[in-house]
C-alpha cells in the first residue's frame, strides 16, 4: 500500500498485519517505511516489508507492485492511499499547487490502478482500495485542488468497480471526514497565508482517529462496499449534498463567507 509510513496509511497497514496479512509498506520516506514495517513484523501475526516509492513515478509504482506479486505469488489487495492536502483560496494558489495535487492525489492513484488491475484480472481476483475524501462527495471551499482530485478518484473508483465486477475484481473508494493525521498543507510549496489560517481553524475541531478509520476500511473491504464513509459527520455531509444539493450549495457559500469574515480570504 502507498503512503503507509504515517497517518491513515500506517493505521491501515497495522490493522492488516494484526489480522495476519502480509503488507508491503511503501512511502516517499523510505526510512520511515522501513521503520514501520520492522515494527509491524515484530508485533505480527502477519508480516510487513518496506519500499521507498514516489507514486508520481509510474514506472516505480509498477516495479514495486510486480515485485510484490512475484515475491508472494499473488496480489490480493492494492491500497492507493498516498496523498497531499492543498489548501488556500483559489486566488492565492499557483499552478505548482494544482500540479502537486493532480500528480499525487490523482495520478498516484491512476498509477496504482494501472499496475495492479491487470494482475488482478489475470488472477481473476483482487481488491483495489482508493483513498478519496468526503471532499470528493461535496463542495468544500478553500481546498479546491484537493477536492477536485478527490472527486476524480471517486469517479474513477465507481467506474472501475462497474467494469471490474464481472471479472472477479472488487473496488472500494474511501471517503473519510477530518482525520487526525497531523497533516501539513501544501508540502514543499510556496506558503499560502490563507492555508495556514485554515489549518489553525481546523485543528480546533474534533477529529476522527486513524485507527478508527482503519477499522472502517477493513470492514468495508470485507463486505465489498462500494464507498466507505466515516465518521458519522462525513455521512451527514455527503447525505446533505446528495439529498439537498441546493442547501449544501448554500452551506458551502456560508463557509466561504465565514472564512472571509475571519480574514482567511478576502471579502
Residue 156 pLDDT:
98
User: Is 146 among the catalytic positions?
Assistant: yes
∠ CA 55-162-12, nearest 5°, is 40
- Cβ within 8 Å of residue 231, ≥6 positions away: 176, 177, 208, 212
Q: Return the DSSP state at 92.
A: G
- Angle between helix 7-18 and helix 210-222 axes, rounded to 10 deg: 50
Mapped onto helix, strand or coil, the DSSP state of residue 224 is coil
Answer whether 60's CB lies under 8 Å from 54's CB.
yes
Catalytic residue among 117, 146, 208, 241: 146
For residue 145, pLDDT over 70 is answered with yes
Residue 248 pLDDT:
73
In this prediction, residues 244-262 reach a mean pLDDT of 75
pLDDT digits 0-9 by tens, 33-82? 999 999 999 988 999 999 999 999 999 999 999 999 999 999 999 999 99
Domains in the chain (CATH in brackets) are: 54-236 (3.40.50.720)
* Grid cell in block for residue 119: 494482475
| Backbone dihedral region for residue 179 (phi beyond 0: left; psi -120 to 50: alpha; all else: beta) | beta
Amino acid at each position: 500500500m502507498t503512503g503507509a509510513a504515517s497517518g491513515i496509511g500506517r493505521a491501515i497497514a497495522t490493522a492488516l498485519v494484526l489480522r495476519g496479512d502480509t503488507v508491503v509498506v511503501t512511502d516517499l520516506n523510505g526510512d520511515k517505511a522501513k521503520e514501520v514495517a520492522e515494527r509491524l513484523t515484530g508485533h505480527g501475526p502477519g508480516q510487513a516489508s518496506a519500499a521507498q516509492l514516489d507514486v508520481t513515478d509510474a514506472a516505480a509504482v509498477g516495479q514495486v507492485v510486480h515485485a510484490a506479486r512475484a515475491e508472494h505469488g499473488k496480489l490480493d489487495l492494492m491500497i492507493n492511499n498516498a496523498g497531499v492536502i492543498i489548501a488556500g483560496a483559489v486566488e492565492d494558489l499557483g499552478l505548482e499547487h494544482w500540479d502537486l495535487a493532480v500528480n499525487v492525489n490523482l495520478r498516484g492513484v491512476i498509477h496504482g490502478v494501472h499496475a495492479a488491475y491487470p494482475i488482478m484480472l489475470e488472477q481473476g481476483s483482487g481488491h483495489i482500495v482508493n483513498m478519496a475524501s468526503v471532499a470528493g462527495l461535496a463542495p468544500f471551499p478553500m481546498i479546491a485542488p484537493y477536492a477536485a482530485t478527490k472527486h476524480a478518484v471517486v469517479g474513477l473508483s465507481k467506474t472501475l468497480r462497474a467494469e471490474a465486477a464481472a471479472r472477479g475484481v472488487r473496488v472500494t473508494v474511501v471517503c473519510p471526514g477530518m482525520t487526525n493525521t497531523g497533516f501539513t498543507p501544501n508540502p514543499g510549496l510556496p506558503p499560502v497565508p490563507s492555508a495556514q489560517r485554515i489549518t489553525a481553524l481546523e485543528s480546533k475541531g474534533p477529529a476522527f482517529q486513524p485507527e478508527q478509520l482503519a477499522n472502517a476500511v477493513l470492514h468495508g473491504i470485507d463486505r465489498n462496499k462500494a464507498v466507505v464513509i466515516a465518521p458519522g459527520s462525513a455521512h451527514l455531509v455527503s447525505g446533505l449534498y446528495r439529498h439537498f444539493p441546493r442547501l449544501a450549495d448554500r452551506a458551502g457559500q456560508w463557509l466561504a463567507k465565514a472564512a472571509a469574515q475571519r480574514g482567511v480570504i478576502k471579502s
